[in-house]
Structure formats: C-alpha cells, structure tokens
Structure 1
Amino acid sequence: MVNSTSTNFYDTYDSTTPCFDSLLEAVNSLSDSSIDSLDDIDWQPVSGGDINEASLLTIGNSERKKHISQQIFLKQNTIEKAPVLEAEVAGLAAIYATGARTCQPLAFGVDNERARSFLLLSVIHSYKGSATSMTEGWQNLALQLATLHQAIAPQPKTNQSDNSDKLDNNQPSKWYAGWFDDNFIGSSPQRNSWTADWHEFFASQRLGVQSQMAFDRQRIDRQTLQQIERIQHKLEQLLPNYPLTDDAEQPRPSLLHGDLWAGNAMLGQATDNNNNRNSTKALGYLIDPAVYVGHPETDLAMTQMFGGFTLAFYDAYLEYGLMENGFSDRVDIYNLYHYLNHLNLFGSGYLSAVQRIAQRFGG
C-alpha cells in the first residue's frame, strides 16, 4: 500500500524555487560556468503543448551540481501569462510533497527585457523500451497517482484567527475541497475557493463557472444550461462521498492532479543518484498539474478522455481501493467540466459531448 500518513506541507507549498529577473541569470544559476548570452545555449524546440512555448536547453556538464541535469526544460509565455507558470510551480511542489513522482521546478521569473515569463524544469526522458517494461511503467504511474490520492490532503488553517493560507496538519473539524489560490485549467481560470461540501464545490466552481461561461459566449443554448443546472442540484445523489476517512472516521478528500489526460502524464527513464539514465526501466511521472483538493475519481475520469490510459494502469490503480462501485456511470459527470472547458477554449467540436451528458443526467 502507498503511504497515507500525514505529510508536512507547510514549507513545501511555499515553494523554494528561486525567482529571477532574467532568463540568462536563471540559467547561469544552474551552470558552473558563466554564460554571456542566451545565444551560447543550445536550444531545441519541443512540440506538443498549446499554452506555453517549450524548449530543451543544453548548458554543458556539471560536475559540482550532480542533481542538475546537463539539459534543462524551458517553458516560456508572455508576461501577462506569468501566473500560469507560477501556479504550475505551486502545483508541482504540492505533488512532490506527497511522495508522488513529478518534475522539479528549478527557476521561475519574468524577463522584462525579453517580454517573457519563464519556468525552468528538470528533464524527463521519455521511455522507449520493451513492451514489458512499458506495462510496468503504466503500473508505476498508477502507483504515483494512488500515492497522490492517499496522502493527507492540504487544508486551510480555518482554526487560525488570521486565516493564514499556510497549511494546518492538525486533525481538522471538517474537510474542505478547493485550493489556496485560484489557478488554471489549461489556459482557463480555475476557481478554487475552499468549500466544506464537495458536491457544492463541484456544482458551483466546476460545472457552474464553465456552463455560465459557455452560455455567455453563446456556446450552449438556454436548454443545455438548464439541464446542467439540474445536474448541479442533484450531485449529492449522483456522486459519492470521499472513499478515504481520517483518524476520526470522517470521509476525507484527496489532493488531485486536476488535468490528468495522457499529455500530462509521462513514462520516463529511471535515473540513478548521478543522474545516469537506465534505459531498461520505465517510471511514471505526473506533470503539468492544475491541482486542487477533491474526490480522487475526478482524476481517474479524466484519464479516459482523449484515448485513455492502458488497461495495465487501471488494473493497478484498482488495487488501491480508491474507485467505488458504479464509477463507470459517473465518468461523464466528472468529465462534463472538462468538455465544457474545451468547448469554451476551442469551440463547437466539443458541443455534442456537452449536450449528450447534459441530456443524459439533466434532461
């Protein structure tokens, strides 16, 4: 079983990832030798994302800093999009605190001279080995997700008079869904106000926000909006309570990845303490999160969008006891949030999925 003991999130949420005023300064902080210009770095564009511009940087060998790879992964965006990258740093720190495997944020900042925000990350080298090791990698990815979900979820300090957004590891009187800040689902703002009722949280801050946005943008008609509103009002009958309990036998939520489709999980090559790659072993990594606290089934449901994960992954995850009976009937309800978000971001190609789910559960 994965370790479900309480983790001290107090320091890890306030990430120690250093912040810099220029990309050159950030890269130099990770290099033994001084680099005079960004032109002296080997840049390799990386495709696959639709939000940030990604590159693989080679800055030379580092004998002194063994924990820093010779290669560094760079994400860049506009200055206005800096909060998207900053939210990713916080999400990666939270996932790492649970013991689940993810990439390491190395440096973050806003380069006003280049009019770019940036995030430097450790590199994950994709696994391309045998089918047997790939299967083991998918099983390991299931372990990483279960590790995330079984860890004690971060909670607000509701018993503190200053209402600090630090973390409280004491037994709470009630459990909250939400997060310390609003963040982003893709490039869309994601509301995360702490809410004591999971069904209310999912109704208002997931389905409610996205469906109203779709209606205001004339992406859905009033009939579909009303159907979704009916779903919101009966979520307590449609969705279960949390599958885990705390020391007082209260149902408790999990920390969620939040955006777990196939593009936001990786099978990477294992490395040793000297960062040497082991090409014969695949390990699972959770990347590009949109974290919040809620029901673990929401992550599992999203894995079934856009082709889904392998049967080996689902069989392995099932062993951790986080999937309840009837899950397959609830997948569409959880994923309605993501279909609405894709409808708002990318247009009418997702309308039929939204209408189908709205009619099925709210017609």
Structure 2
Amino acid sequence: MEDKLRSIGDYSKIKMIQSVSGGDINQAYFVETAEQTYFIKTNKQVPADFFQVEAEGLDRIRDTKTIHVPEVFHYDIAHNDEEIYLLMEWVEGEKHTSTGKWLGEDLAALHSTHVGKQYGLDSSTFVGEIRQENLLFDNWLDYYREQRLQPQMNLAISKGRMSGKRLERMEQLLSRLDQYIPSKPRVSLLHGDLWGGNWLAGLKGTPYLIDPSIVYGDPLFEIAFTELFGGFPGEFYASYQSILPLADYYEDIKPLYQLFYLMVHLNLFGEGYGTSVDRILKHYTV
C-alpha cells in the first residue's frame, strides 16, 4: 500500500489503516497518512479492468459538474492475476436536513445533461460482478431489450434459474416489450446502479454518488431502481420532480425497469429473488 501511495506522490507516514465496508466484492480500507485520508479498495478476483471501469464512470459523472463523486487518485489494471488497487478520496460527513433535497436536485441536474442522441454506452461496464456489455443504439427500447433483459435471461438459463413457465413468460414479455417501453425517451447520463448503498453524505451533508455502472438511457430507469430496495428520503423524490417531473406512464413501466435489477440479483444471489421476478412477469403476460 505504501508503494501505491508513493505512486501518487504521497511519501508521508501512514498513521492508520482500518478495514471498512466496501461491498461484497472488494476489500476496502480507510487509510490515513500524515498528508491525507484515502478510501482504498483492493481485489485479485475480478477482471483486469474492474477498477478502471469504475474510475472512468466516476470521471464521466464528474465531468457533468452536476453532482459530487469521490476523486480518483489511482487505479490498477491487473496483469497475471495480481492484486489490484483503487485509491480514492475519503468522503465522510453527516446527513443534513437538506441532504435528500440536494440529492434529488443534483440527480435531476445529472439527468438533464445531454451528450449525443444515442442510448447505451461505447464500452462495457459491470453490474456487481457481472460484466455488462454495451453498444450504442438509436432506440432505447432496442437497447433495453437486447443489451439488458436478453443477456440476463440467457445467463439465468445457463444457471438453471430460468425455465418452464418463467422462461415462457420472459420470452413473451420480450416479444411485446414495445407495448410498454418508450423508443425515444430523454437521453440522460445515468449512474446505472443507484440503490441506497451507492450514495453517501460528505462534508456539510453534501450528497456523493459512488460505484457507478454508467449508461445513457431513460432517467425513469434510474428512478425505478431507487424505489426497489429503499434508502432514499421522500424529499429526494419531491425535489427531483420539481426539476424533472416523472412521465405519466412511469408507474406502468416501473416494474419492467426494476425487472432488470431483479434479474441481476437472481443471477448473482439465487432463487430468493425468483418470486419477485415471477410476479412482474405474470403481471405483464398471460
């Protein structure tokens, strides 16, 4: 770890290294030197570009100048299964009474940025440990069906978690997805994995986004995921809608957007998420 810190110009003495929560995938540490504090993640069980993808996603969000993300100081690309490191700014603070409001406003500002007219992304990302292959599409419906739902369906089939009536309903839904998902919604830069554990409060309650899986797509896709597992205050939604009101059809398509994330969880964690997947499929099919 000393070598990694020296590589970014911090030659000062390490005062503290403390293990902290960093998700299910990585080892994570709070590191304090005489010069600065850091959040450092390490791993040797992930693809070589795992931390590079995370860093580039944070950079792309930062470039919009709409919402805070941690500064990235260094990331490794693995060679020969070596341990890799990601060095970032340590973000710490307490939630302010206005933190939820600021988060909603800042996310709406992020979603209001437009870069091009295509949906998807020009590179792959990760959702958890699963590599998310991306391409750029002129049509959001096609991207969502071909790059999101179909690959998760195929992965579930390979894992023995998609067969029988579940598979029949999934195939039926994909064939009629154009009845529900819009073809040309707003093109927004999305965090892409925004559940309650992927935002935190920094100094003076300023909200920060962490661990992105960026994509250009329908902002309702992002909002639907925030509602799936909780972790967002009511004022977040009110302030977001004061800038970007939710479309009239949002409640009709929200379960279809949540279906992607439930499929990811089905593939990562197993049949505990199968009932939720089945409930959505049953609602939209016969």
What TM-score results when the alignment is normalised by the length of structure 1?
0.74
Of 48, 69, 72 in structure 2, the residue corresponding to residue 105 of structure 1 is 72
Instruction: Tell me, yes or no, if the aligned pair for 2:104 and 2:237 is still in contact at 8 Å.
Output: yes
Q: CA RMSD in A?
A: 2.0
Instruction: Tell me, yes or no, if the aligned pair for 2:62 and 2:69 is still in contact at 8 Å.
Output: yes
- The equivalent of 1:92 in structure 2 is 58
**What is the correspondence of 1:307-318 to structure 2 with a 5 Å cutoff?**
307-318=230-241
Displacement of 1:229 after TM fit? 2.2
Instruction: Tell me, yes or no, if the aligned pair for 2:139 and 2:184 is still in contact at 8 Å.
Output: no
Q: Distance in 2 between matches of 1:30 and 1:189?
A: 29
- The equivalent of 1:25 in structure 2 is 3
Instruction: Tell me, yes or no, if the aligned pair for 2:191 and 2:214 is still in contact at 8 Å.
Output: yes
Larger Rg: 1
Q: Are 2:209 and 1:286 aligned?
A: yes
- The equivalent of 1:149 in structure 2 is 111
Runs of 5+ in structure 1 lacking a partner?
Answer: 1-22, 62-69, 156-174, 245-252, 270-280
Q: Distance in 2 between matches of 1:111 and 1:95?
A: 24
Displacement of 1:112 after TM fit? 6.5
Instruction: Tell me, yes or no, if the aligned pair for 1:267 and 1:284 is still in contact at 8 Å.
Output: yes
Q: Distance in 1 between matches of 2:101 and 2:159?
A: 41
Residue identity matched to 1:207: L
Q: Distance in 2 between matches of 1:126 and 1:186?
A: 26
Q: Distance in 2 between matches of 1:86 and 1:187?
A: 14
Instruction: Tell me, yes or no, if the aligned pair for 1:79 and 1:117 is still in contact at 8 Å.
Output: no
- The equivalent of 2:155 in structure 1 is 213
Displacement of 1:265 after TM fit? 1.0
**What is the correspondence of 1:121-270 to structure 2 with a 5 Å cutoff?**
121-128=88-95, 133-134=96-97, 136-153=98-115, 155=116, 175-244=117-186, 253-269=187-203
Displacement of 1:113 after TM fit? 10
Give the total of aligned pairs.
285
Q: Distance in 1 between matches of 2:60 and 2:104?
A: 18
Q: Do the aligned partners of residues 32 and 176 (structure 1) sit closer, same or farther apart at CA in structure 2, a change above 3 Å counting? A: closer
Tell me which protein shows more helix as a share of its residues.
2
- The equivalent of 1:352 in structure 2 is 275
Q: Distance in 1 between matches of 2:78 and 2:149?
A: 36
Of 276, 279, 299 in structure 1, the residue corresponding to residue 222 of structure 2 is 299
Q: Distance in 2 between matches of 1:254 and 1:143?
A: 15
Query: Percent of counterpart pairs with the same letter?
Result: 32
Q: Distance in 1 between matches of 2:45 and 2:156?
A: 27
Displacement of 1:237 after TM fit? 2.0
Displacement of 1:261 after TM fit? 0.2
- The equivalent of 1:77 in structure 2 is 43
Displacement of 1:224 after TM fit? 1.4
Q: Do the aligned partners of residues 79 and 347 (structure 1) sit closer, same or farther apart at CA in structure 2, a change above 3 Å counting? A: closer
Displacement of 1:178 after TM fit? 1.2
Q: Distance in 2 between matches of 1:316 and 1:357?
A: 28
Runs of 5+ in structure 2 lacking a partner?
Answer: none
What TM-score results when the alignment is normalised by the length of structure 2?
0.93
- The equivalent of 2:18 in structure 1 is 44
Q: Distance in 2 between matches of 1:230 and 1:113?
A: 43
Aligned partner of residue 208 in structure 1, secondary structure: helix
Q: Do the aligned partners of residues 196 and 224 (structure 1) sit closer, same or farther apart at CA in structure 2, a change above 3 Å counting? A: same
Q: Distance in 1 between matches of 2:27 and 2:62?
A: 24
